[in-house]
Structure 1
């Protein structure tokens, strides 16, 4: 089976971790999105079984950034409850 890119066997016969890929991430111009994407660099220092947590965290952050685009601008609008019962109604008698 071929070795992953950057993987090397040590001189003592032990397998070393794959070398970081060094993938360059171009800034998006959105500070929040760039911070989320910078988290991908954490996967370079983890064994493959640790990558899933990083990828899920990045995916969650990107979903939150996309969801924020759908939110109306300004402060949140309070939820409207049922009409108060003590308000007089205009009824014709």
Structure 2
């Protein structure tokens, strides 16, 4: 500060070291056409309103839901498909 500033009583603004509050990232989420996946993607918006230390719970929840959805897609629907015997192993004469 200069001598003129000191004599006039002017002070520098106080610096705040408080963390910034939660703020939306503004990431656009496009629909996938799969209702379950779309609902999980919308769940990510919950993290926009939480402090950073609350994001992990949302991310893990969404990850678990996406993993379960993919696992369900891999599961066979209906009875197993019979596999015909391979001619290479047919030892009849």
- Taking structure 1 as the reference length, the TM-score comes to 0.61
Give the structure 1 partner of residue 39 of structure 2.
Answer: 35
Unaligned ranges ≥5, structure 2:
1-13, 80-93
2:22–2:52 contact (8 Å) kept in structure 1: no
Q: Which structure 2 residues correspond to residues 65-76 of structure 1 after superposition, within 5 A?
A: 65-74=69-78
Of Structure 1 and Structure 2, which has the larger fraction of its residues in helix? 2
Q: In structure 2, the residue corresponding to 1:33 is in which secondary structure?
A: helix
Tell me: higher relative CO, structure 1 or 2? Use CA pairs within 8 A at least 6 residues apart: 2
- Taking structure 2 as the reference length, the TM-score comes to 0.61
Unaligned ranges ≥5, structure 1:
1-10, 77-93
Q: Does 1:58 align with 2:62?
A: yes
CA separation in 2, counterparts of 1:70 and 1:56? 21
